[in-house]
Amino acid sequence: MNIVDKSVLKKIYELGKVSQRHLADVCGYSLGKINQSIQFLQNNEYIDSKWNLTDKSQVLIKSYKPKKAIILAAGLGMRMVPINTEVPKALLKVKGQTLIERLIRQLHEVGVYDICVVVGFMKEEFEFLIDDYNVSLVCNMEYARKNNMYSLDLVNSNLENTYIVPCDIWCEENPFSACELYSWYMIKNEETLNTSVRLNKKFELAKTKMNEVGDTMIGISYISFMDAPFIRKRISSMSCQREYEHAFWEDALYVKDKMIVSPYVFNKAYEVNTYEQLRDLDEDTETLNSHLMQIISDTLHCELSDIQSIYPLKKGMTNRSFSFEVNSKRYIMRVPGEGTDKLINRRHEYDVYQVIKDEHICDPVIYMNPDNGYKITEYIEDAHACDPTYFGDVRDCMKKLRAFHNKKLKVNHTFEVFEELEKYESYWQGAPSIYRDYKETKKHIYELKEFVDGQTKEWGLSHIDSVPDNFLFSKDELYLIDWEYAGMQDQHIDIAMFAIYSLYDRNDVETLIDLYFDNDCDDIVRIKIYAYIAICGLLWSNWCEYKRNLGVEFGEYSLKQYRYAKEYYRIVKEMLEERGMCLCSK
């Protein structure tokens, strides 16, 4: 029995005896194929002459009958900005129902009650489903680092005769059935470049080539007992491999650039992946009443409907941001990320912006809230960040940095490096450092404190986070942006910050210092900057350890910061010994 025969048998089960033309319409096959299939089903005793299902059909239908469903709802939903900061996208309301509750009810309509929901982001928000719908919850605590391939591997044993359902789908009609006779993957006859699959002439799901238009992937799937063992094995194997950490589970369905499951074309399903998709689907939904959108509306004196082209920007180390358009002008809104309230004093940041707002240093700030850190700035068109490997860019950045330093601006707060270092360590809540020689390294860094405290300092407002990404080149201007950590400090610390974020080696650091000082840096000042590299290396290493405990990993960056602490301590010690000086050690 081929896919056409199974599709026709399924529709006869659902609709009873209808005209062959109607079968052709609902199955999507030619009238000739429908006629051939009816003949096959009758000749092989699946239906009788009146299209009644035989015992043979009933046995087949029972063996493939849907038993379970897995709803994938662990992700952050970053494309759903700004709503994703307030509610998981599975709980968005469309036409009076949350997405996930509608899906659960549609599954119940076809007799599927064994439902598992894989949660992660805002997992507590889903707890009510246990009581209201008798679902089970499985937590994916790697949701911030891994994609839904890992989520599905957590419930890999449940795949036989199972629906796999993304949580962000709204179906106008029930896509599920009490009768499923083969494994399938749902698509929509809607061409898009944002896909990895296309329906070919053989009615197969083939992988798209680069820049090839394909069909819209809805993501709902049915896995029968026949295909479950193979797919389980693939998911289990792939989820353990680093290259698939950011992969969608659909990658497990491909063999030689074709999916092993059949297509299910369903055109009455809608993905709700962005604020604008939600607005298109239900402009009256209460979910659109985001307080972030209201801030934009109030600040720019526009209607909510005027806010268009909303896109998430690359997730930063501290914040989440998104861009948007109002009246053809583009802006960026910053939303503080996890644990930010412990890391940054937003009132201090606000005070800094009041001091620099007329100095033509930073990007134009339209709105800033000193209590929660929300910020709206103008989008700088045709801009690019400094490339730390191109020293033409770096030369311009050091010129900009020195010009800012020469202004000797003042605020009423100080960025106390060692207080911050201790504060970040306290956030580990008594847990030991992940580095086995941390105590010795920290002792050495405090030796450097005694050294720098005895040196002459260029005291003034310092950026502190003066890293390449925060130097923004536009056509006519070079901006120094993101002043979250800024405060009074020895301004030479900003040179060290640029170096360690750029992951510079010793030669690059020398070049950087020479560019800032125009090849006229005093030797003892150079040693002091090296000491700052070590001190700030441990500062940001402690910061990374805290963020790591929140589930945010920074890979090479975190390891390199700790290496700066150790290596530049040794460099400073050796350079001082060459001059007959020494570091005091308690």
Same-domain pairing of 422 and 368: no
Same-domain pairing of 112 and 235: yes
Containing structural domain, residue 41: 3-63
pTM above 0.85, yes or no: no
* pLDDT, tens only, 303-328: 888 988 887 776 554 567 888 999 99
Task: Please say whether the beta carbons of 471 and 397 come within 8 A.
Answer: yes
* pLDDT, tens only, 32-45: 999 999 999 999 99
The residue from 218, 242, 271 where one domain ends is: 271
Q: How is residue 474 written in tokens?
A: 């536009």
Same-domain pairing of 164 and 211: yes
Does residue 558 carry a pLDDT above 80?
A: yes
CATH of the domain at 217: 3.90.550.10
Which range (94-103, 275-284, 409-418) has the least confidence? 275-284
Determine, yes or no, domain membership for 584: no
Same-domain pairing of 374 and 400: no
Please give the full DSSP string across 387-409, using - where no structure is assigned. -TT-HHHHHHHHHHHHHHHHT--
Same-domain pairing of 317 and 181: no
Q: Quick one: pLDDT band at residue 466, thresholds 50, 70, 90?
A: very high
Same-domain pairing of 319 and 468: no
Determine, yes or no, domain membership for 566: yes
Q: How is residue 311 written in tokens?
A: 């896109």
Q: What is the pLDDT of residue 287?
A: 63
Q: What is the pLDDT of residue 318?
A: 54
| Cis status, amide bond into 82, omega within 30 of 0 | yes
Which range (4-13, 449-458, 552-561) has the least confidence? 552-561
Question: What share of the chain has pLDDT > 70, as a percent?
Answer: 95
Determine, yes or no, domain membership for 372: yes
CATH of the domain at 11: 1.10.10
Determine, yes or no, domain membership for 276: no
* pLDDT, tens only, 220-232: 999 999 999 999 9
Q: Rounded mean pLDDT of 92-104? A: 93
Does residue 586 carry a pLDDT above 60?
A: no
Same-domain pairing of 55 and 75: no
Determine, yes or no, domain membership for 280: no
- What's the total number of domains in the chain? 4
Collapsed DSSP state (helix, strand, coil) of residue 564: helix
Does residue 580 carry a pLDDT above 70?
A: yes
Same-domain pairing of 253 and 131: yes
Same-domain pairing of 533 and 497: yes
Q: Rounded mean pLDDT of 137-166? A: 90
Q: Rounded mean pLDDT of 39-64? A: 94
Which range (229-233, 251-255, 278-282, 316-320) has the least confidence? 316-320
Q: How is residue 142 written in tokens?
A: 């790697």
* Helices assigned H by DSSP within 177-247: 228-238
Same-domain pairing of 316 and 429: no
* pLDDT, tens only, 510-535: 999 999 999 999 999 999 999 999 99
Determine, yes or no, domain membership for 278: no
Q: Rounded mean pLDDT of 438-447? A: 96
* pLDDT, tens only, 403-424: 999 999 999 999 999 999 999 9
Same-domain pairing of 373 and 391: no
The residues, ordered by sequence, that sit 6+ positions from 217 with a Cβ below 8 Å of its Cβ are 185, 186, 187, 188, 195, 196, 197, 250
Determine, yes or no, domain membership for 583: no
Same-domain pairing of 59 and 69: no
- Distance from first CA to last CA of the chain, Å, rounded? 83
CATH of the domain at 340: 3.30.200.20
The residue from 339, 359, 378 where one domain ends is: 378
Q: What is the pLDDT of residue 314?
A: 60
The residue from 357, 378, 399 where one domain ends is: 378
Determine, yes or no, domain membership for 285: no
